[in-house]
Amino acid sequence: MLPIDLTGKRALVAGVADDNGFGWAIAKAFAEAGASVCVATWPPALNIFLNLIERGKIDESRQMPDGSLLTFERIYPLDAVYDALEDAPADVRENKRYKELGDFSIDGLAQRLVADFGEQPLDIVFHSLANGPEVKKPLLEVSRAGYLAASSASAYSLVSMVQRFGPLMRPGGSVCSLTYMASERAIPGYGGGMSSAKAQLESDTRVLAFEAGRKWGLRVNTISAGPYASRAASAIGIIQTMVKYCAANSPLPEELEAREVGTTAAFLASKLASGISGSTVYVDKGYHAMGMAVTMPAGTEQISG
């Protein structure tokens, strides 16, 4: 028997704001495998997330196999487009959703982790962060600011996190992120420069695997997940069409479940995956292997540029 055992490990999952997306499923899978879990949440969503937990609104989603409720060691504020607090403009720092939170930058989170848990507090870091303010625009219409914003939030944030969290991780640590197949194939409707950001993320994964592996003994991988209709993904505008299309045309003709991504993340963080680094691991029902559509499911719209 080869169980996924993360007992005694501490995981940080950055990008959890509700119980609906991959970040939640990943955090829960880590906890089911025995890890202690901290999460980091975008400041504008933090109070809503805390209220959902405190008022029992997501208790059903928090149910663990042993009957207990999923709990987090800490829930931290994090806006990963800022490496340090001084990088945030004054209007952001003074915004009512930010001003009482202290240092919400990546560097601030690193300092809080050390203050709360000691010099090497982490074994696992999972980057579940992405944002493209112009994601509904085709690439031909994306502004420079929108393109760079997508890259900053969705790709460079991983580099910044590894820079700052790498020294805080114990030997044998695991870093992982979420990517999407638009990094390597054209997906009409997935715009705003997000396809470019995901390509950057995958390239950076390979380079970080080498650099962080040699410097700190860390493994760095990314999971290429199929489309999933989370609340965050609704910003794309065509997510339901993407889900139905992929389910109809995948080798396994069914919709992806968030838990399938979560359990893959737990595997990659465990000793069972000690030989895997610098890899893009597909969790998409095999859709990435297809070169031709089988069918267009009823009720899906034709996507155009």
Annotated binding residue at 15? Answer: yes
Q: What integer is the mean pLDDT of 171-198? A: 95
Check: CB of residue 14 under 8 Å from CB of residue 39.
yes
Task: Give the number of other CB atoms < 10 A from CB of residue 101.
Answer: 17
Whether 177 and 13 have beta carbons less than 8 Å apart is answered as no
Residue 28 in domain:
yes
Share of the chain above pLDDT 70, in %: 95
DSSP string, 35-59: -EEEEEE-HHHHHHHHHHHHTTTTH
Is residue 198 marked as binding?
A: yes
What is the pLDDT confidence band of residue 238, given thresholds at 50, 70 and 90? confident
Residue 21 marked as a ligand binder: no
> How many Å apart are CA 265 and CA 253, to the nearest integer?
22
pLDDT more than 90, % of the chain: 88
Enumerate residues 6+ apart whose C-beta is below 8 A from 167: 216
Single out the residue of 221, 220, 226, 258 nearest to residue 239, CA to CA.
Answer: 226
Residue 187: is its pLDDT beyond 70? Answer: yes
Q: Which two tokens stand for residue 94?
A: 């003074």
pLDDT tens-digit readout, 7-59: 999 999 999 999 999 999 999 999 999 999 999 999 999 999 999 999 999 99
Within a domain: residue 295?
A: no
How does residue 305 score in pLDDT terms, banded at 50, 70 and 90? Answer: very low
Predicted confidence (pLDDT) at residue 304 exceeds the cutoff of 60: no
> What are the pLDDT digits (tens) for 240-290?
888 998 999 999 999 999 999 999 999 999 999 999 999 999 999 999 999
What is the separation, in whole angstroms, between the first and last Cα of the chain? Answer: 50
In a domain, 211, yes or no: yes
Range of the domain at 246: 10-289
Write out the two tokens for 17. Answer: 């704001």
**Which tens digits make up the pLDDT trace of 68-123?**
999 999 999 999 999 999 999 999 999 999 999 999 999 999 999 999 999 999 99
DSSP string, 143-209: -HHHHHHHHIIIIIHHHHHHHHHGGGEEEEEEEEEEE-GGGTS--TT--TTHHHHHHHHHHHHHHHH
What letter would DSSP give residue 115? H
297, with CB counted inside 10 A (0-12, 13-18, 19+), is middle
Q: Do 173 and 208 form a contact (C-beta atoms < 8 A)?
A: no
Domain membership flag for residue 72: yes
How high is the pLDDT of residue 301? Answer: 54
d(CA 102, CA 83): 14
Which token pair is 98?
């930010």
Asked if residue 254 belongs to a domain, the reply is yes
Degrees (nearest 5) of the Cα angle 182, 207, 39? 70
Q: How far apart are CA 103 and CA 265, in angstroms?
A: 28
pLDDT value at residue 257 = 95
The tens digit of pLDDT for each residue in 200-220 reads 999 999 999 999 999 999 999
The answer to whether 215 is a known ligand-binding residue is no
Quick one: pLDDT at residue 302? 52
* pTM score above 0.85: yes
State the total domains in the chain: 1
Identify the active-site residue in 76, 82, 180, 245. Answer: 180
What DSSP element (H or E) covers 296? none
142 known ligand binder: no
The confidence score (pLDDT) of residue 59 equals 97
pLDDT bucket at 237, cuts 50 / 70 / 90: low
Based on the number of CB atoms within 10 Å of its own CB, is 90 exposed (0-12), middle (13-18) or buried (19 or more)?
exposed
pLDDT class for 228, splitting at 50, 70, 90? confident
- Choose the catalytic residue: 190, 228, 245, 287: 190
| Known catalytic membership, residue 98 | no
Q: Please give the pLDDT value at position 242.
A: 87
Q: What is the pLDDT of residues 110-168, one digit of tens each?
A: 999 999 999 999 999 999 999 999 999 999 999 999 999 999 999 999 999 999 999 99
- SS3 per-residue string spanning 205-267: HHHHHHHHHHHHCCEEEEEEECCCCCCHHHHHCCHHHHHHHHHHHCCCCCCCCHHHHHHHHHH
Residue 180 falls in the annotated catalytic set: yes
Q: Which two tokens stand for residue 32?
A: 């089911």
Q: Is residue 197 part of a domain?
A: yes
For residue 38, the domain's CATH number is 3.40.50.720
> Would you say residue 204 lies in a domain?
yes
Residue 257 in any domain: the answer is yes
Is there a contact between 15 and 250 (Cβ–Cβ < 8 Å)?
A: no
Higher pLDDT, 184 or 293: 184
**How many CB atoms sit inside 10 A of residue 100's CB?**
8
